[in-house]
Every structure is written in structure tokens, then in C-alpha cells.
Amino acid sequence: MADGVAGLVLAAGAGRRFGRPKALLRRGGSLFVEHAVDVLRSGGCAPVVVVLGAAAETVLERADLNGARTVHNEQWPTGMGSSLRLGLRRLNETPTEGTSAALILPVDMPGMTAAAVRRVAAHAAPDALAAACYGGERGHPVLLGRRHWDGVAERALGDRGARDYLRERTVTLVPCEDVASGEDVDRPADLDGG
């Protein structure tokens, strides 16, 4: 179970390569942002925070975010790092008793499942670093123990997110290829192929 794990959806980008914000893409009857919230919630994460940016008003009008907390990243054009910093700051400002870690999920992963979320979240601890892996390659979701939040926020610049911080540390890799797809959607052809 994912007790003590908050969920953080990074959904602020404009989808430059795709041609529109990926939070508003639809697959299987739901918006990508709705799917991300549902997967984290079904995987046991609470609270779930969604960082919005490009087209935030439209996302809020169209999406059923099922009680997730939202925060608007006015600096979204600077890249994913600003969304990660803002999301972790929001989790720090509104602590939920017993929250030991945050599970980070980009919005553009429609093949993510609650089973993968539960599998990675099972490693939660304040000093934990874990990530799903697919074919031996690190992917998402990524679990950041609470003691790492400030360090990750300091290093999260541009589109790099937590990459540099994680590269310098031991990260527990959690095989998830049997329960989820680690593929992200960058271009319309990625969506058509799935």
C-alpha cells in the first residue's frame, strides 16, 4: 500500500512537440490529467497535487480532478523543473501527517497503472529514492522521500526535473514493465501507435 505517499502530477507544459497541452489530450474516454490523478489515487496516494500551467483555466473547466489539489505554475515556460519545485513546495506547505514521500508522475504517460504506482510506493520512507524501471531503464513514477525534497528542488532546473539529483545517488529500481508502460507521449504519432 501507498500509505504516507503523496502523489504529484506534473501537467503544466504546453506540449510544444505535440502541438497542444498534453493535460488536455484524451484517450479511452478520459483526459490525460484525469487518468494521472486516477492512477495515483487508485494506487493509494493522498493527497494528490496537480501542477498546471499552460491552458490551466481550460484544464480546470474540462477535467474532473476528483478532489485533487491544484496549483498554477506561472513559470511553466521555463520547463518541468519549475513545476517540480512548486509541487514539492506545496506539499511542504500543506503537510499531511505521516507523508513520508512523494510519487512524481508526468501527465503524458497514458499507459501508467495503479499497480505500478503501488509497486513503487511500497518503497516509501523519508530517506527513500525509488523509480519504476522498464527493461532495466529508469522511468516514472519516481518516489522521492521527504528528506530529499529540498535537495531535489534546488537542482530542478529547466526540463531536467530530478535527473541530476538522482544521478548522484542510489535509486532503487522497481521493475514495472509487466504492469505498465513507461512510454510517454511526445508527438501525435505516439498516441496513434498506442
Give the burial string for 46-55 (b: 16+ CB within 10 Å, else e): bbbbbbbbbb
With bands split at pLDDT 50, 70 and 90, how would you rate the model's confidence at 98? Answer: confident
Q: Which pLDDT does position 189 carry in this prediction?
A: 66
With bands split at pLDDT 50, 70 and 90, how would you rate the model's confidence at 119? Answer: very high
Q: Which residue has the cell 508526468?
A: 106
Cα angle, residue 158 at apex, residues 91 and 56 outer, rounded to 5°: 60
Provide the number of structural domains found in the chain: 1
Please indicate, yes or no, if residue 191 is contained in any of the structural domains.
Answer: no
Distance of alpha carbon 73 from alpha carbon 110, whole angstroms: 22
First-to-last alpha carbon distance for the chain, in angstroms, is 29
Nearest Cα to 33, choosing from 16, 4, 56, 17? 56
For the entire predicted model, the pTM comes to 0.94
Nearest Cα to 99, choosing from 153, 44, 52? 44
Please indicate, yes or no, if residue 187 is contained in any of the structural domains.
Answer: no
Mean pLDDT of 117-141: 97
The predicted-structure confidence for 16-60, as pLDDT tens digits, reads as follows 877 789 999 998 889 999 999 999 999 999 999 999 999 999 999
Please indicate, yes or no, if residue 39 is contained in any of the structural domains.
Answer: yes
Average pLDDT in the chain: 92
Beta bridge partners of 131: 142, 173
With bands split at pLDDT 50, 70 and 90, how would you rate the model's confidence at 65? Answer: very high
Q: Which pLDDT does position 191 carry in this prediction?
A: 64
Host domain of residue 148: 5-179
Q: Which pLDDT does position 2 carry in this prediction?
A: 46
Residue of higher predicted confidence among 2 and 120: 120
Please indicate, yes or no, if residue 172 is contained in any of the structural domains.
Answer: yes
For the cut 80, the answer to whether the pLDDT of residue 1 exceeds it is no
Q: Are 57 and 64 in contact, with CB atoms under 8 Å apart?
A: no
Q: Which pLDDT does position 16 carry in this prediction?
A: 81
Q: Are 177 and 99 in contact, with CB atoms under 8 Å apart?
A: no
For the cut 80, the answer to whether the pLDDT of residue 194 exceeds it is no
Q: What CATH number corresponds to the domain at position 16?
A: 3.90.550.10
Please indicate, yes or no, if residue 190 is contained in any of the structural domains.
Answer: no
Which cell numbers in the block locate residue 163?
535527473
Please indicate, yes or no, if residue 119 is contained in any of the structural domains.
Answer: yes
Please indicate, yes or no, if residue 192 is contained in any of the structural domains.
Answer: no
The β-bridge relationship of strands 48-52 and 5-11 is parallel
Q: Which pLDDT does position 188 carry in this prediction?
A: 66
